[in-house]
Structure 1
Amino acid sequence: MDERVPRVYGADADDPDPGPEPGRVYVELIGGPLDGWLVDVTRWPADEIAEGAALITEYGAYGGGGRAWYSGRPGQDSGRWWWDGDSA
């Protein structure tokens, strides 16, 4: 059984514990190159959390410096963002 802790977006690649921290608020990324990762939105305004984000990643279709676009879905779990696609 796989008991991996989800990786937090922005954690250092060599961080021995890249998982979530207690007392923080996260959204889970669904689909795309960062599927299963978490984004710390602890200090984000509610409207920005609802909007989503373009996250810099080397894992998307455009390689290093490309963006993976994630956003919330009306009527869906507010603790999740779904992949909308990649861009340069």
Structure 2
Amino acid sequence: MTGNTRWVYGTDHDDPAPYAFDPDHTYVELVGGPLDGQLLDVTALTAEERADGALLIAPRSAYGPGGRADYEPRPGCTTRWDWSGDVPW
């Protein structure tokens, strides 16, 4: 997946390189919800962990800062995870 101009999830707002894209890493695009369009580095996740998706801290979730956005792999697509809702933490 290319996308070196996309924000990588986990970088800070004042990070000097929030669009840092490592071509040796594997990323998925987050689709929908408060993190729409960001890339998530899944390089270190096992296949089982990737199948589970992730609850990601979202500063603009329905539950306010610190709430979690639930992203799940899109069936049949290894490069996109879809938002399935927000959850409190």
Question: TM-score category by the smaller chain?
Answer: 0.7 to 0.9
Alignment of 1:48 with 2:40, yes or no, is no
1:1-88 mapped onto 2 (5 Å cutoff) = 5-19=5-19, 20-75=21-76, 77-88=77-88
Runs (4+) of structure 1 exceeding 2 A deviation are none
Q: Which segments of 5 or more consecutive residues in structure 1 lack a partner in the other structure?
A: none
**Number of residue equivalences:** 84
Distance 2:6 2:74 in 1: 21
SS in 2 for 1:13: coil
Residue identity over aligned pairs, in percent, reads: 55
Unmatched 5+ stretches in structure 2: none
Structure 2: distance between partners of 1:59 and 1:49: 24
* TM-score, normalization by structure 1: 0.88
